[in-house]
Amino acid sequence: MAESRERWACGLRLRIDRELCVGFGDCVEAAPGAFVLDGEGLAVFAAPENATREALIAACDACPVDALTAWDDEGRQLAPERKPRP
């Protein structure tokens, strides 16, 4: 199985890092229909093109282990929100 998966939707490049994912399902709650948990209990894409841009960004921000990432079409990371280092 692939370690990561990428897809474009709503002007966003979305990435799921399956090595980081532990299946909390926060992404599924934040963007129902965009993500689902597979038979291994890990996040996979369902139909992210049917979600709103805001819901997709929220889903990536909601992941407690930062397994989901969203970039805009210019390559800027939108989620998870980067926190300044001390």
Q: How long is the chain?
A: 86
Residuewise pLDDT in 10s, the chain (86 residues): 456 799 999 999 999 999 999 999 999 999 999 999 999 999 999 999 999 999 999 999 999 999 999 999 999 999 998 665 56
How much is the pLDDT for 4? 78
**Would the pTM count as exceeding 0.85?**
yes
CATH number for the domain formed by residue range(s) 4-74 = 3.30.70.20
Q: Helix, strand, or coil here: 29?
A: helix
> Among candidates 64, 69, 53, 81, which has minimal Cα distance to 26?
64
Please state the separation of Cα 30 from the chain's center in Å.
Answer: 10
